[in-house]
Structure 1
Amino acid sequence: MQQSNTYIIVYSAVLTIILGLLLSGSAQVLGPWQQEAIALDKKKQIMGAVISAEEIAVMTPEQVNQFYSNNIASTVVDINGEEITEGGVTAEKVEVAKDYKKPADQRAYPVYIFHAEGNPNEVKSYIFPLYGAGLWDAIWGYIALDTDMNTIGGITLAHAAETPGLGARITEGEVQARYVGKQIFDESGELVAVQMMKGEGKDYSSDLHKVDGMSGATITGNGVNNMLKAYLSHYEAYIKAKSSQSAVAGL
């Protein structure tokens, strides 16, 4: 039987409202779970700069949270290296991707401090977020510096849409391992970071500031280089302050 136009309009409107309510309700129910999953993934990426991916892979969510709570402290600094103590800002609340759109001197910079279990005073390394642009979309990661504030202890890299088998290889452990032991300052104390070179298959083991590249992924490699240099420069005041403190403590 043919329905009137009024019936069809009312039926469509009611159906739209019902579906809208169902979607809204689902978002309300699933929202906290999604936020927990995002927070858990972030903790894994931070931890990945200081412990192996294999160790993290076998951890339950509860174990990840426990390890993070027992071994990772955090603070937030400005571009001058001064801690931000006002406004209730915490490292975990800072959204680096959103702050990336602001001028560098207006951003909040999280610092994660890896320490001996249960002892924040026994610092093992400092972990700094990274964010930049790859070939197709955003790239990001975390870099850990040893307490000399110069030697790279580990790095995790991730991407939104780099090419599989090419730029997407920045997520591979073998590529990330190339950075371990490299240094971000040269002999004169200038911040030079670490450069991923063009091409692949060369030996840069004797060069503290270069790593082998990825075949067919020069633009992604350049994005990683730019990201490293930019974010390490944003943290440079904090890094040098901590380096000076470590030098004094060692006297």
Structure 2
Amino acid sequence: MSSKKESTGRTLFVALAVSLVSSVFVAGAAVSLKPVQIENRLLDKQRSILSIAGIGGANLSSREVKDLFASRITAKVVDLETGEYSDAYDPITFDPLKAAKDPQLSSALRGSDDIALIKRRERFTTVYMVEQDGKLESLILPVRGYGLWSTLHGFMAVKGDLNTVVGFGFYQHAETPGLGGEVDNPNWKAMWPGKTLFDDSGKPVIQIVKGGVDPASPSAGHQVDALAGATLTSNGVDRLLQFWLGEQGFGPYLAKLRNQGV
């Protein structure tokens, strides 16, 4: 009987020891790999910005992405409440998504204020500029909002006139492949360049249209086809653009740029 108890105790001890050692290795691997994961996420974001701005392709190496981003892109932190640039944070390391979870750095959104369904909006965020000879060529704005199954994270690149789309796309989402996931379809993304975002008063007029855009319509210049079979994702994209281009988003910032004649 005692030998059985001893055998059972030894088995439990060995199992516990193996579990403990495995946990230590897993935890150590997670800690050691975290800087690599952060670096890869930053690289993916930079690659997406370059691609949407039309100055870099998906086939660039990691080094090429870093070098091109450093030479062509200027990042600045914007105070969304005032529309002014802020020196309070480093634009390279500041994380707006993390700030959106901090009650000290964000605001809760409720009801009609939260048309993008993001729950909280950060006060500060980072914008990206492509400049040539001191003149703004394009401005890249981060946008996000809820689709059918997930929050879509992306960028809208706008020409220096602050109205004409250069490119639009998402770098992170979990929409249904073949349906909402068609936001990644190159054919759909190719519909965006050249579209206009605002009317003469600065009000957002960009619109996703179910059933397809009528080329003969006077509104065709600011309309894009909805995703086939993905009404809720299309509605989500439409709402997130209305939010981020409006007063709750980049509206005050873009108004200041227009007044400055940028």
Question: TM-score, structure 1 length as denominator?
Answer: 0.86
What is aligned with 1:107?
A: 123
Unmatched 5+ stretches in structure 2: 108-119
Tell me the SS of whatever aligns to 1:83. Answer: strand
Q: 1:97 to 1:176 in 2, by over 3 A?
A: farther
CA distance in 1, matches of 2:122, 2:96: 13
Number of positions where the alignment pairs a residue of Structure 1 with one of Structure 2: 240
1:122-161 aligned at under 5 Å gives the runs 122-161=135-174
Corresponding residue for 2:48? 45
The percentage of counterpart residues that share the same residue type is 27
Contact preservation (8 Å) 1:46, 1:142: yes
CA shift for structure 1 position 139 = 0.7
Report the alpha carbon displacement of residue 113 of structure 1 after superposing the two structures with TM: 0.6
1:196 and 2:198 correspond: no
Superposed CA deviations along residues 124-161 of structure 1, whole A, max 9, x for unmatched, are 11110001101011112101111111111111224422
How far is the alpha carbon of 1:243 from its aligned partner? 1.4
- Aligned pairs for 1:1-251 (under 5 A) are 4-51=7-54, 55-79=56-80, 80-86=82-88, 88-90=89-91, 92-96=93-97, 99=100, 102-103=106-107, 106-116=122-132, 121-187=134-200, 189-200=201-212, 202-203=214-215, 206=218, 207-233=220-246, 234-246=249-261
Give, in whole Å, the separation in 1 of the partners of 2:184 and 2:84. Answer: 32
Deviation at 1:93, TM superposition (A): 2.2
Query: How many Å separate the matches in 1 of 2:260 and 2:144?
Result: 27
**Is the CA contact (8 Å cut-off) linking 1:204 and 1:212 kept in structure 2?**
no
Structure-1 residue corresponding to 2:114: none
Q: Distance in 2 between matches of 1:89 and 1:204?
A: 47
Structure 1 gaps, min length 5? none
Q: Distance in 1 between matches of 2:245 and 2:257?
A: 14
Cα deviation digits, residues 186-236 of structure 1 (max 9, x gap): 13x142241111134754775222111121111100000111111112111
In structure 1, how many angstroms separate the alpha carbons of the residues matched to 2:254 and 2:59?
33
Alignment partner of 2:260: what SS? helix
Go from structure 1 to structure 2 and tell me whether the alpha carbon gap of 1:158 and 1:32 turns closer, same or farther (over 3 Å shift): closer
Contact 1:91–1:109 at 8 Å: present in 2 too?
no
Q: CA-atom RMSD, angstroms?
A: 2.4
